[in-house]
Amino acid sequence: MSLSVAVAGASGYAGGEILRLLLGHPEFEIRTVTAHSNAGQKLGTVQPHLRSLTSLDLVETSPETLAGHDVVFLALPHGTSGAITAQLGDDTLIVDCGADHRLEVESDWSSFYGGDFHGAWAYGVPELPIPAVDRSDAAPAATEFLAKQRSRLVGARRIAAPGCNASTVALSLAPGIAAGVILPTDIVAVLAVGPSGAGKALKTNLLASEILGSANPYAVGGSHRHIPEIQQALRWAGAEAPTISFTPVLVPMSRGILATSTAVLAPGISTGMVRAAWESAYASEPFVELLPEGEFPRTADVLGANTALLGLAVDEAAGRVIVVAAVDNLVKGTAGAAIQSANIALGLPEITGLSTNGVAP
């Protein structure tokens, strides 16, 4: 029997991508799509690429319209999902693609977001480690994660899908932190990102005339809201007080993230030990792949796929480890991670409805 699904925020980029992926999922049946300003319109008016769903009506987003479904995916602006989810029963699996339930520390929420704090849910990046307090040994693993977020997602009824930039950087660095081959301070991450990560609302700085032919840094100097989420994930990997300089750069591609993260090589660590840490951490993962030595990913290689590709190098002269990661921000960064996590929570094969194959050219 198919599981009934509602998607809130279905008129946006993240909501549209959730719907696109759900159409290829054999166990989910899309029954309700909701919106705010676009409520009352046909879905096909705002998501014309979803041809098989064009006749669906967008209804108002409310606890009443979302209640009664087996699974609810929320693709709403931060600060809006917490009040809605509080009114939905525990019998519904809720996956929040917004920020409201990602952070464990209330002061982090207050500093970077503000407003009511709703607490953290199971984190929807199965490949990352769980906090040390939940592990049999609090010390960093020698070559692999002792346990992963996947174990927390099994049977979960409340899941927080990740911030796309945050999960990309965390997946890049967590193996090195957990294995003790890189230091958790003086981390630097510079990301080339597509504007779809900023949502569909009309903003002057996202107009084609503003971004075509240009690269534009934003949220410079430690102000980006994904920073505490990255630090949280690195603490789970074993870092006591991680520090990171994080600079995203808007580039003229509609979707994608290319994250270059560097960290100081720990004393006495060889190049072989570095590579072994990442190989061990992701060897059995269906959606995270370490490329062969000397190879580095492109965003074009993951377009439309629930795949994170990593390239790894050691700059011995600088004493730093470099990880280059490519993801599709709307798939592995958001919608794909949400569906992957929902599969785990429901006891379905993790890869159901998701592909590692991209679209080219």
pLDDT at 63: 95
* C-alpha span between 182 and 174 (Å, rounded): 10
Assess whether pLDDT exceeds 80 at residue 13.
Answer: yes
Model confidence at 203, in pLDDT bands (50, 70, 90)?
confident
Between 161 and 143, residue with greater pLDDT? 161
Beta-strand relationship, 3-8 and 71-74: parallel
pTM of this structure:
0.94
**164 belongs to the catalytic site:** yes
Cα–Cα nearest to 138, from 238, 47, 276, 28 = 238
* C-alpha span between 28 and 49 (Å, rounded): 20
The per-residue pLDDT for range 275-315, each reduced to its tens digit, is 999 999 999 999 999 999 999 999 999 999 999 999 999 99
Q: Which of 46, 164, 183, 323 is catalytic?
A: 164
Q: Which residues pair with 326 in a beta bridge?
A: 258, 309
pLDDT at 138: 43
Domain 3-161+333-346 part of CATH 3.30.450.20:
no
The per-residue pLDDT for range 258-274, each reduced to its tens digit, is 999 999 999 999 999 99
285 Cβ contact partners less than 8 Å away, ≥ 6 residues apart? 127
pLDDT at 146: 67
- Retrieve residue 41's tokens: 């319109």
The per-residue pLDDT for range 45-72, each reduced to its tens digit, is 999 999 999 999 999 999 999 999 999 9
pLDDT at 1: 66
The per-residue pLDDT for range 104-153, each reduced to its tens digit, is 999 999 999 999 899 999 999 999 999 765 444 444 444 467 689 999 99
- Retrieve residue 87's tokens: 């009114």
pLDDT at 18: 98
pLDDT at 205: 82
Where do the structural domains in the chain lie, given as residue ranges? 3-161+333-346, 164-329
Between 136 and 154, residue with greater pLDDT? 154
pLDDT at 139: 45
pLDDT at 249: 96
Mean pLDDT of the chain: 93
* C-alpha span between 238 and 203 (Å, rounded): 39
Percent of the chain with pLDDT over 90: 85
164-329: CATH superfamily: Dihydrodipicolinate Reductase; domain 2 (3.30.360.10)
pLDDT at 209: 84
Cα–Cα nearest to 11, from 30, 31, 32, 39 = 39
